[in-house]
Amino acid sequence: MNGITKRLFWITLTGSLLMASVVQAKLAVENPLDRIVAVVNDEVITALELKAEMGLIKKQLSQQNTQLPSDAVLKKQLLDRMILRRIQLQMAKRGSIRVDDDMLNRTLENIAAQNRMSLSQFRSALQSEGINFESFRENMRDEITVNRLQQRQVRSRIVVTQQEIDNFINNQKLRGGEDKEYHLGHILVSVPEAANAQEIKAARTKAEKIVRDLRANADFAQTAIALSDGQQALEGGDLGWRRADALPSLFADWVVQQNVNNVSDALRSPSGFHIIKMLDIRDNQPQHMITQTHARHILIKPFDETENSDARARLEKIRERIIAGEDFGALAKAHSDDPGSGAEGGELGWVNPGEMVPNFEQGMNALDVGELSELVRSRFGWHLIQVLERRKQDVTEQVRNKNANDAIRARKLDPAMQAWVRRIRDEAFVQNRL
């Protein structure tokens, strides 16, 4: 570091500390019960924010029947996560990544639908559990923002070539195919990027003690929450279900030889020491036959909610004209607000399951061949749907290629994400006052 660089560094550091001191003094006047628990670049995390997050995570862990660690352990893990999230939100802001209210509302509606509720019912359910809906809503905005940042910075930069896919499939055939999925738990004891021999030895010693404790029947989820530096620590280290070919080679070489409840040795990687537990194993028999629907539709899109009833009335009249014998295709060309399909007489071609928004797909699937739907509402507007044909389609080849692509991408993603998270954490100015 030359003289100019050093001066710039200390000017920046001093400025950050001064700003944090000013903010802390202001908070102390406004709320003497609050205090700063971390400084992240030019922002702070307060004790009240940490307390609110503590309440949410305790509810979540209790619902999962996970034994709660001590408050001190939980605070440390949670503050580390909050610091990383704050760094990412700051990066997203600098990169002009924004989540508008429409996108946020659609996401909340989808979450409510997955729980078989309307948005208002979902809101009431959260409030009945003591969760403030507006806080939940803004937390969800932050989650979407962070996901978009990660997509831009990491996921979109992972390249999978057709040659890699072909080689992957050929290797699978030589091995007789992949017929198992593994439910894994993961604990990471991280090592700094430029760690010295003493730091590496300390991390190895810690990891080996964790392995001994786990093999002596220590609770894995509780241990992960208390000691793991991994991103899934507060989920008890749960990595979910993975095929071996979708795992980093470091893990894949271990899992295919293991039984349920086996615990790995401390596995070394550039990011630290990994400990894996085999939580469960199941057969993987993907379905490669799907039902495709050949459909067409007419869309009438209201400009805003005040025109919603007018849009519906317009489409009702078009439906009556079709029932009276007028040509669906001609009316779609004349009236549909879907510029793509409208020009083709409403033609959507062969539609695979999951390609359409849920309300549209539900309305389409309820129709017999040749039947004309009632009016269907989606976030795009009002639809009139007609099913022309249905067929069973063998998509084994497409599924095989997609699975290979997903597996290779997942294998590359884990180490890339870990390296990126460590880099942005190291580059940020962070002062942990907990």
Question: How is 204-234 classified by DSSP, letter by letter?
Answer: HHHHHHHHHHHHTT--HHHHHHHH--STTGG
- Asked if 236 and 221 count as a contact pair (C-beta separation under 8 A), the reply is yes
Q: Name the amino acid, one letter, at 409.
A: R
Domains identified in the chain, total number:
3
User: CA 370, CA 388: separation in Å to the nearest integer?
Assistant: 5
The two three-digit tokens of residue 55, written as one number = 């309440």
Q: Let me know whether 228 and 373 are in one domain.
A: no
Count the Cβ atoms, other than its own, within 10 Å of residue 314: 16
Q: Let me know whether 209 and 330 are in one domain.
A: no
**For residue 238, what are the β-bridge partners?**
185
Residue 92, in any domain of the structure: no
Q: Let me know whether 412 and 272 are in one domain.
A: yes
Q: Let me know whether 378 and 409 are in one domain.
A: no
pLDDT tens per residue across span 165-194: 888 877 766 554 456 788 999 999 988 877
- Asked if 72 and 79 count as a contact pair (C-beta separation under 8 A), the reply is no
Rg for the chain, CA atoms, rounded? 27
**Which among 246, 247, 251, 245 is positioned nearest to 263, based on CA atoms?**
251
pLDDT tens per residue across span 119-128: 888 888 888 8
- Specify the pLDDT at position 179: 66
Q: Let me know whether 304 and 420 are in one domain.
A: no
User: CA 187, CA 185: separation in Å to the nearest integer?
Assistant: 7
* Residue numbers of the domain that contains 384: 289-394
- Specify the pLDDT at position 52: 84
In which residue ranges of the chain is pLDDT below 50?
1-30, 32, 176-177
Residue with tokens 């503590």: 54
Q: Let me know whether 171 and 52 are in one domain.
A: no
Residue 189 CB burial class (10 angstroms; 0-12, 13-18, ≥19): buried
Count the Cβ atoms, other than its own, within 10 Å of residue 324: 7
Q: Let me know whether 270 and 186 are in one domain.
A: yes
Q: Let me know whether 294 and 278 are in one domain.
A: no
Name the strands in the sheet holding 43-46, side by side, starting at the edge strand that comes first in the sequence.
Answer: 43-46, 36-40, 430-432
Count the Cβ atoms, other than its own, within 10 Å of residue 352: 13
Q: According to DSSP H, which parts of 280-387 are helical?
A: 308-323, 328-335, 339-342, 358-365
- Specify the pLDDT at position 243: 80
Task: Specify the pTM.
Answer: 0.57
- Asked if 212 and 218 count as a contact pair (C-beta separation under 8 A), the reply is no
| Of the residues 48, 68, 88, the one at which a domain ends | 68
Q: Let me know whether 206 and 350 are in one domain.
A: no
